[in-house]
Amino acid sequence: MLGTLASLSLLEGNAAVEAIRSSQQRCLRLIDDLLQVFRAEQEGLQIDLQPCDLLAIAQEALRTVEPIAAQRQISLVLRQERCRGMELLADPSLLQRLIENLLLNAVHHNLRGQRVWLQLSRQEGEWWIDVHDGGEGFPPELLPRLFQRFAQSGNGTPGAGLGLYLCRLITEAHRGIITASNTAGGGARVLVELPQREP
Partner 1 sequence: MTMHLLLIEDDQAYQLAMATHLRQLAGVNEVWVAEDGEMGLELLGSKPVDLVLLDLMLPGLGGLATCRRITANTALPVLILTSHEDTGWVRQIWDAGARGYLHKERALAQVELALASLMIGASWWDQKATAALQRSVTYQAVAASNQGGHLNGLTQREREVLVCLAAGNNNRLIAEKLGIGEGTVRSHVHVLLQKLQVSNRTQAALIWLTKGARQ
Contact 120, 128 (CB under 8 A): yes
Closer to partner 1 at the Cβ: 49 or 160? 160
**Binding of partner 1 at residue 14 (CB under 8 A)?**
no
What are the C-alpha distances in Å from 120 to residues 53, 95, 162, 174, 193? 12, 13, 24, 17, 10
**Binding of partner 1 at residue 180 (CB under 8 A)?**
no
**Binding of partner 1 at residue 122 (CB under 8 A)?**
no
**Binding of partner 1 at residue 7 (CB under 8 A)?**
yes
**Binding of partner 1 at residue 19 (CB under 8 A)?**
yes
Binding partner 1 by CB under 8 A: which of 108, 115, 122, 197? 108
d(CA 169, CA 177): 10
Q: What is the dihedral of CA 165, 168, 170, 174, to 10 degrees?
A: -170
| Residue 158 Cβ vs partner 1, minimum distance, rounded to whole Å | 5
Q: What is the DSSP string of 103-163?
A: HHHHHHHS-TT-EEEEEEEEETTEEEEEEEESSS---TTTGGGTTSTT---SSS----S-H
Supply φ then ψ for residue 187, to 5 degrees: -75, 170
| Residue 3 Cβ vs partner 1, minimum distance, rounded to whole Å | 9
Q: Which amino acid is at 110?
A: N
Closer to partner 1 at the Cβ: 23 or 123? 23
**Binding of partner 1 at residue 142 (CB under 8 A)?**
no
Closer to partner 1 at the Cβ: 127 or 165? 165
| Residue 51 Cβ vs partner 1, minimum distance, rounded to whole Å | 36
Angle at 97 between CA 95 and CA 102, to 5 degrees: 100
Query: Which residues within the stretch 32-71 sit at the binding site for partner 1 (CB under 8 A)?
Result: 71
Query: Which residues within the stretch 146-165 sit at the binding site for partner 1 (CB under 8 A)?
Result: 150, 153, 155-158
Task: Give the footprint of partner 1 on this chain (CB under 8 A).
Answer: 1, 4-5, 7-8, 12, 15-16, 18-20, 22-24, 26, 71-72, 107-113, 144-145, 150, 153, 155-158
